[in-house]
Each structure stands twice: as structure tokens, then as C-alpha cells.
Structure 1
Amino acid sequence: MTATTRQSTTPGFDDQMESSSLLKPATTLSGNQHPISGVNSDAMPMLSKSGGGGGTISTGPNALDSDTAMQVLEDEDVGLDIPAPRPSMALKILYGMPQLGTFFSNTLLNQWLTYYYLPPGEPQRISASVFGVLLVLGRLANAFCDPPVGYLSDRSRLRLGRRIPFMLFGAPFLAIFFSSLWFPPYPGNNSLHPGQTQNAVYFTFMFMLYNVAFAFVTAPWTALSPEITREKSDRVMLATFSGLFSLAGNLLGAMIGPFQANHQDGLNFLGIQFASGLQFCGAMAGLLLLVCFWVPLLVIKENPNAPRPPPHNIVKELIVTVKNPAFRSLIGITSFLPMGVVFVGTGLPYLCTQILEAAPNDPDPGLVKPGTGESWTGLIAGIMIAGALLCMPFVGPLAQRFGKKIVMLFSTILMALLVFSISFVKFFPDPAIPTLIGVAIMAIPASVSFILPSAIYGDVVDFDSRRSGQRREGIYAGANAFSNKIFMAIGSAAIVYILELGATRADPIGIVVLYSVAGLVMALGALLFSTHPIRD
């Protein structure tokens, strides 16, 4: 009996795959066993490369076209038959718990860090030009740490597992360095004070160390997802619980604005004096990060049967990753889309306080009364989060009915259009009204973005495994995070310099441009993701 042979539709990708694959290319196989699972290869499709140019699947004389070949690739489980226990319900739930800490801390970071150091209409704690450069440097430190961390976690053979030690020992440093960002040596914002230079030096080191620690902890944690779930239903459920924790983190983040508005002059908690509400939130976010990364370790059991990765150096592994067409298109929703979201989040305090909030003594103030802009930042975020929570039960069934790609693509396009439309709200008599309508509709695509990207990431790793017989969760997590952080670095600098165009009630052009660019970035992400080869 002749085994099924298969050829890739992507030139160059199979060349790299075959050089590292445990599934050695063969035209005919008889009575052979799969080198990982031990399954007889006579009954299982194998990877091979023939001399032709187009993609084919053949069984004897029969051949299928490229599109059918791709669909078979999606339906088969080649390379995925490594023995692995089904995840328990406790594991499905608690695996997503780090999302609670990371989404709360990211909301604080993305919405309020720039606002904290560059308050609108007030002296800056660090000069804007310097602050933009420092944000880029920190993001780049994170980006260049992600692939090596993922690579090392793939090859780690410690007693506690491949991924767990990174989370166990890295989480305390992540918590400390994040909290430190909100405690500069000179928290006052007097531009004439020499503390601007000291603040810049302090922020440089703390932000760099935070980003390194973030990569050290999150890349291995992300790599666990496709490793501990093999069934599609398990993967979607894991992503759904992660999405719920993400929403909870965002909901906590929505309370930051009102809390800061009520504690602008500081507060005393357990005998500790905090200079502002944002300082207190920074300290609590660090503690939450520690708890959320440690608690899941009580139930996470890594798969002891995970195969060793191929004996390639990190450069070759990254080349394999980049040559994977499913990974390249994934960047649309894991780099472009988050970059647009950061634009939206960072601009929200400025939008609420400088455009939506009525001017003092305005005879017709509208919905956002003078002095309530910071509180409305949390309210608007809360409306979107509540709406996304209501929509989340429909995401899984829609993905099953139409496929994850179609649902994700449609939601990204809708998000891009809605974000772009916010640029025009200042031309309405009460800009808060169209903003609230747009945000309410935005809850629909937001619910999708909380769930599907992580499930699609797992599919991308499986796509590689079907072709190579290898499990490269770590390097894919690292490469994906690298791309994300590069975009975040570019976005962080762009935000600062766009807001320099004007971020006050008298001159809000920078805020308007920020939301226009955010919508365009998301649209580009949708365009790239439209090329995704996995239809499921």
C-alpha cells in the first residue's frame, strides 16, 4: 500500500520544514511507523515534496487542487497525535487568569502612563520628545527578548517543566518593575524642577526591566495554550475563559478613571501615602500580576510527552516561523489590531477630557459636565466591556458556523470603521452622543477580539506541526510577541508625537489624527489577515 503524499502550496516553506522534520519525506512508505506517535504510516498521510511546482495531494494516481489540499491540511491531525491528557475544567478556567492581571495592567499602562507623565495643559514629568524615545526603547527590549525566551522554553528540560519555571520565578520581578513605573523620584510635574532628568533616567531603567520581565513570563505562558489543548472544542473553551478574564481586567481598568478623579491629590492606604490615584493603581496592578501568574501554576501540568524541538539554532527557527503563511497573516490581528487598540486606549483620557467634556461655564454642557472627563473615561470603557460580555456567548457558535477566519475578519473591519468614525465626533453639537453609540456597537467586534486571536494562534502552531511533525509553541509565541512589540514600539512613539500636534480643548487636532490613524492601522490588519490560509 502506498502512503498518501502531500506537497505545500507555499514555495520555500517545505524546504525548511523537511530539513528539520521528524516526518522524513517519502514517496512510498510501507509498514512504517510515525516517529512520534507510532501510528502506522500506511494509514496516515505523510508530508513530502515532489518535483512539481503546484500544490497537490495524491493517493496513487489521484491528485487534488491546491485549495482542496489546504482544506485537507486543516482537517487532518498530522503531527498532532502526541499523547496528551484532555485539560480539566479547572485548567481551562485558571489558564486564562493571567489575562486578568495583564489586561488591567495594560489598560493602566496604555491609557494612563502617557497621561501621567504628559498631563494635558500641565507641566510634564518627562519632556515629550524624550518620553517618546524611552517608550520605543522599552518596547524594543521586550521585542528582542521574546524570541530567545520562547526558544529557550521550547528546549528547557527542568524538573518543573518547560514553561512553568519562567512564570514561577519571573512573576515577582514583573510585579515589582511594573509598580515602579508609577513612583518616579520626582512625582511632581513642575517643568522647572531638575527632577525631569532624574525621572527620565529612572523611567528608562524601570521600563526596560519591566519589558524584559514581561517577555520572560508571558512568552512561555502563551506557548502553553496549543500544548495543553488538542481538541478544537477545548481550545475555543480555553480561549473563552481567557476572554472572560480579559474582560474582567478591562472592567477593573475602566474604574481607574473615576478612581483617579476622586483621588487626584493622593490617598493613604494601610499607612502608605500615595501621591495620586494612579500611583495606588500601579501598586495594586503589580500585586495582581503576581497573584494571577502564580495561581494557575497550582493546576497546570505540562505534557510530559511533548517532543524535543529540532536541533536548529534560533535564527533557523525564526526563518521557519516567518515562512509559515498562516503566521504571516496572523500578524494582522496580533500586531496591527493591538496597535490600533493602544492608539484608542491612550487617546481615550484625552478624548474625554478635551473633546467630550464641556468647557467651564458652558451654558449647554451636554452629557459630560465640566470636571467629569476623567470619570467618563472609565464609563465609556465600561460600556464597551459590558456590551462585549453580553456578546461573548455568541462568538463560539458563530465561529463554529462560519469559521474563525470569517468572524475575525468581519469584526476587525467593523472595529476599524467605528474607530475611524470617532475622529468626527467633535463636529457634533454634543460629541458624547455619537461616541457612546459608536462604543456600544464596538462591543460586538471587541467580544470577538477577546476570544478568537488566541484560538487562531493555536491553529497556526498546529498548521506548522502538520507540515513538520514538530511542536514549536515557544518560538511561535516569541516570534508573535516580537512582532507585536515592534508594532507597539512604533505606535508608542507615534502616539506621543501625534498628540504633540495638539491635545487640548483649544487645539485637539492631535486627538483627531490619533483616532484616524488607529482606524487605518486596524484596516491594514484586516487586509493582511484576509490572506490567512486556514479557513476553519
Structure 2
Amino acid sequence: MRTKLGFGIGDLGGNLFFTIMGFYLLFYLTDIIGLLPALAGTALMIGKVWDAITDPITGYVSDRTRTRWGRRRPYMFVGAIISFFCMGLMFTPVQLSSQMRLFVYVTFLYCTLNTAYTLVNIPYAALLPELTEDYNQRTILTGYRMSFAVVGTFVGAALVMPIIGLFSSVSVGWSMMGTFMGAVMLFSTLATIFAIKEPTYSGTSELDGFASTFADVMKEKVFLSALLPWTFFITGTSMIQGALVYYFAYIFGNEGLFQLALVALLSFSLLCIPIWVQVSKRIGKKACYMIGMSIMSVAVMLFSLLGTKLGPTFGVIVMGFAGVGLSTHYVMPHSILPDIVEYDAVTRNKGRREGVFSSLWTFSSKLGQALALALNGWILALFGYQSEHISEVAKIGIVLICGPLPLLWYIAGIWILRTYPIDRVYYEQMIAKRDNA
């Protein structure tokens, strides 16, 4: 239980971070510090692409690290400290003399923040396949992790505006919010560092070079059959995350109701995690994931296309329905990845590469996030979005990034995920063959 809780709580800070970045950062840049939408979207894309580049490097290095404290935890400790300070700076509004200077400042700070959190997230993700090799126990351990993740998402989604509202100055409110959230990220990571005892690694380091290692992994068809859907689902979900606050503020005319919609979305996500864990034992992880993202697809289309006619109450209800499907996105992909790591270790019989796989997994998700954030900013600019005056044309752009465009990513992901081969029987036969060799 110490291991389950200690491992799980680490993702509280992680999902808090991703939630704030996904739901609020674009809005903060355009409406609080006044950065033009196209520049804001480009800054976030650059930051995410840089973030993605640092992921494989961190995974490669951590796989080869040997210290008395383990392979992963030293990086997590350093990254957590830097993340705390960068979060406060990121959300402290500044006034610079030109849009270009503001763009450069935001881009540099966002890149630094993402690099710091990479030092936390990549080693953290690499811990899971090291803690257990049991097929169902990995799903259970992932369930603990994702339960904390949803709590982190709750904190990141529901407390941002209330914390800002505690202060008479909007600028001070955003700054204090960033500092508080940075502290939560710091302490959740420290809890994992001190609760988890890393298994002693007796294997040898990979002899392959950096480029050849990653090129070899990217040839794995089994890996790609899960990686591409994960990336597409991330892209669609990130587009919706960044667009919802605009939809409630300017389509429904009720920005405050956005908080209630998030509570509905995340409550149903949290409640359904143990249900999906049990269902996956019967029908498998892939089937659960495909069903969940199909539910998300239906929900976002209902929300974006019927929300304008049926009103904000309908929007909140649909967000609750979407949470049932989103719950699988929290659990299944992170439970699938350790099985792929085991598949690679068994078929290659040449050392384990948890960090490499985890870094590529996160790399692809951040590319998806980068593309989503950039598309949101560019589409808003294309449709003439201006925070001072929201035209009817701009509202069409907001509707598009809340449903129809994300749906295309969902459909592509579900189609490719059909080809993923590892189920419980496949996995157990693979392990038995290894043990009998």
C-alpha cells in the first residue's frame, strides 16, 4: 500500500501541471498579459516542441544512471525544485515594450518550465514497469496513479479562479496561484521520492548509441500501434481543454460556469476509474480504451454543435458524460505502455529500456499538445478573435476547436488502435515463454 499510494501521489502534481497548462495558459497569455493569439499559440508550440525534444534525452540518460538513490529519483528531485520557482514566474504578469519582447520572454520561460518538469515526469513514468511485471497489477497500480491524477486535475481546474479571486489585484492573484500550484507540484513529487524504494537494477547499460537506440525503438510495430493513437487522442483532448474556457465565456456568456463543467467532467472521470479497471480484466485494456474514446467523440460533438441551442446546463451535463470516456484516457494508455516495455525486453533479450519508451511516449504526447495549442491559437487568429470584441465569426472558430476538429483526431486514433495485439493471454504466454527459456 505504501508503494501504491507513494507512486500514485506523484501524478497529482503532474496532472495539476498539465491541466493548468491545457485549460488556462492560452487564455492567460491572450486575455491577461495581452499577447496576440497567433503569437501565444506559436510560443506554446515552441515550448512543447522543445519539451518533447528533451524527453528522449532524459529517458536515455536516466536508463544509464547508477546512483545510491536509484536511477530515477535524483532527476525527479532536481526537476521538482526548479518547477516550483518557474511556475510562480510563469504566471506573474509582466509588461514589456513590444509584442515581440513579450513573445520571446514567454517562450523562454515556458521552455525552462517544461524542461524542469521533464526531469520529473520522464523518470516517474519509467518507474512503473520496474515496480511490478504482473499484467493486472500494473493496471491496479495505474489506477492508483490516475486516481491521484484526477485529484490533481481537480485542483488545477477548480481552484485556479477561486485562488485568483482571493486577491483584489488580478495580477497578484495569478502570481499567487502559480506559486501555490508550484508548491503542490513540489510536495507531491517529494512524497513519491521518499515513499518509493527503487528496485536494485543489476543489468548492464545499453551499448547502443543515442540515435540508434531510438531509431530501433521506433521500428517496433507493436509500439507504434499504441503510440500513434495515444498521440492523436492527446491532440484532440488538448484542443478541447484549451477551447472550453472560451466556449463558456463567449458562447454561453458564463465564464463562471466553466468551473462547474470541469467538476462534472472530472468527477465522472474519477468515479469511473475503478469501474474501468475491473472492466479491463474482462474485455482487455485496448477494448476499454476504444470504447472510452468513442464516448468522448460523441460527447464533444454534442457539446460543440448543440450547446449553442440547448444552453449551458446541457453543456455541463454533456461534460459529465464525456468524463465517463475520458476516464479510460487516464488509465489504459499508462497501463498498456509497461506491457510494451516487457514485450521489448523479452523479444530483444538485450537489457531493459523503460526510460527510452517512457520518454518517447511523453515526447509524442507533448508533440500532440504542441500541435493542439498552436492550432487553437492559429484558428482563433484566423477567425479574427479579439478579447475586446468577440465577433460571430470568432465564435465559429471557438466551436470548431471544441468539437469537429478534435473529432478527426479521435477517429484516426481509434482506427489505428484496432491493430494493437497485446492482450492478457498474449502477455502471459510471452512471460511464460521467457521464464521457460
TM-score, normalising length: structure 2 = 0.90
Give per-residue Cα distances to partners, 1:230-263, cap 9 Å, x unaligned. Answer: 1123212211111111111121123246416735
Match of 2:83? 174
The 3 A distance-change label for structure 1 pair 289 and 159 is same
Q: Secondary structure at the match of 1:374?
A: coil
Deviations 1:111-150 (CA, angstroms, capped at 9, x unpaired): 111111112xxx8622223222211211111111111110
Q: Does the C-alpha gap of structure 1 residues 471 and 437 become closer, same or farther in structure 2, counting only changes over 3 Å?
A: same
- The equivalent of 2:294 in structure 1 is 413
1:178, distance to aligned residue in structure 2 (A): 2.4
Mapped partners of 1:220, 1:478: distance in 2: 8
CA contact (8 A) 1:353 1:374 kept: yes
In the alignment, the residues of structure 1 paired with residue 143 and residue 400 of structure 2 have an alpha-carbon distance, to the nearest angstrom, of 34
Contact kept? 2:136, 2:281, Cα under 8 Å: no
Q: Which amino acid aligns with 1:327?
A: F
Opposite residue 92 of structure 1, the aligned amino acid is K
Q: Distance in 1 between matches of 2:292 and 2:317?
A: 17
1:510 aligns with 2:390: no
1:340 aligned residue (226, 231, 236): 236
Tell me, yes or no, if structure 1 residue 118 matches structure 2 residue 44.
Answer: no
Within a 5 Å distance, the mapping from 1:230-241 to structure 2 comes to 230-241=133-144
Moved more, 385-394 or 193-202: 193-202
Asked if 1:161 corresponds to 2:64, the answer is: no
Check if 1:207 corresponds to 2:110. Answer: yes
Q: Give yes or no for the alignment of 1:108 onto 2:20.
A: yes
Q: Distance in 1 between matches of 2:251 and 2:156?
A: 21
Amino acid at match of 2:247: L
Is the Cα–Cα contact under 8 Å of residues 260 and 276 in structure 1 kept in the other structure? no
The answer to whether structure 1 residue 377 and structure 2 residue 273 are counterparts is no
CA distance in 2, matches of 1:443, 1:143: 27
Give unmatched runs, 5+ long, in structure 2: 425-437
CA distance in 2, matches of 1:128, 1:384: 27
Which letter maps to 1:524? A
Aligned counterpart for 1:183 among listed residues 57, 82, 92: 92
Structure 2 CA distance for aligned equivalents of residues 291 and 224 of structure 1: 18
Query: 1:351 deviation in Å?
Result: 0.7
> Which of 368, 380, 383 is the equivalent residue of 1:487?
368
> 1:475 Cα shift?
0.5
Aligned partners of 1:259 and 1:277 also within 8 Å: no
Amino acid at match of 1:453: P
Distance 1:427 1:168 in 2: 46
Q: Secondary structure at the match of 1:533?
A: coil
Higher relative contact order (CA 8 A, sep 6+): 2
Q: How far does the alpha carbon of each residue in 1:166-222 deviate from its partner, in whole angstroms, 9 at most, with x for none? A: 011221112212221111422xxxxxx725444323212211111111222211111
Matched, 1:281 2:170: no
Q: Distance in 1 between matches of 2:147 and 2:33?
A: 36
Which residue of 1 is the match for residue 430 of structure 2?
Answer: none
| 1:450 aligned onto 2:330 | yes
Pair 1:253-2:156 in alignment: yes
Which residue of 1 is the match for residue 359 of structure 2? 478
- Structure 1 counterpart of 2:49, from 130, 137, 140: 140
Paired residues of 2:44 and 2:370 also in contact (CA < 8 A) = yes
Q: Which amino acid aligns with 2:73?
A: I
Given the superposition, is the C-alpha separation of residues 254 and 130 from structure 1 closer, same or farther in structure 2, using an over 3 Å criterion? closer
Could you tell me whether the CA contact under 8 Å between 1:257 and 1:377 is conserved in 2?
A: no
Counterpart of 2:222 in structure 1 is 326
Instruction: For 1:448, give the aligned amino acid.
Output: T
**One-letter identity of the residue aligned with 1:109:** M
Deviations 1:420-440 (A, max 9, x none): 332212441x42233223212
Determine the C-alpha separation between the residues in 1 that align with 2:270 and 2:36.
39
State the distance in 1 between where 2:211 and 2:129 align.
22
Structure-1 residue corresponding to 2:97: 194
Q: Would you say the 8 A contact 2:2–2:195 is kept in 1?
A: yes
Aligned to 1:34: none
Whether 2:198 is the aligned partner of 1:302: answer yes
- Matched letter for residue 410 of structure 1: I
Tell me by how many angstroms 1:306 deviates: 4.3
> Secondary structure of 2:197's match?
coil
1:433 aligns with 2:313: yes
What letter is aligned with 2:124? W
Deviations 1:268-321 (A, max 9, x none): xxxxxx725333221111111111111111121122144224310111111221
Stretch moving more, 155-164 or 503-512: 503-512
Three-state SS of the structure 1 residue aligned to 2:297 is helix
Do the aligned partners of 1:331 and 1:525 also contact (CA within 8 Å) in 2?
Answer: no
* 1:107–1:250 contact (8 Å) kept in structure 2: yes
Q: Partner letter of residue 170 of structure 1?
A: G
1:524 to 400, 412, 415: 412
The superposition leaves residues 341-391 of structure 1 with CA deviations (integer Å, 9 ceiling, x where unpaired) of: 11111111101111122xxxxxxxxxxxxxxx2221111010111122222
2:429 corresponds to:
none
Residue 152 in 1 paired to residue 54 in 2?
no
Partner of 1:463: 343
Q: How far has the Cα of 1:473 moved from its partner?
A: 0.1
Cross-structure match for 1:390: 271
Structure 1 contact 111–348 (Cα < 8 Å) conserved: yes
Partner-residue secondary structure (3-state), 2:421: coil
Q: 1:43: which partner in 2?
A: none
**Aligned-partner SS, 1:312:** coil
More helix per residue: 2
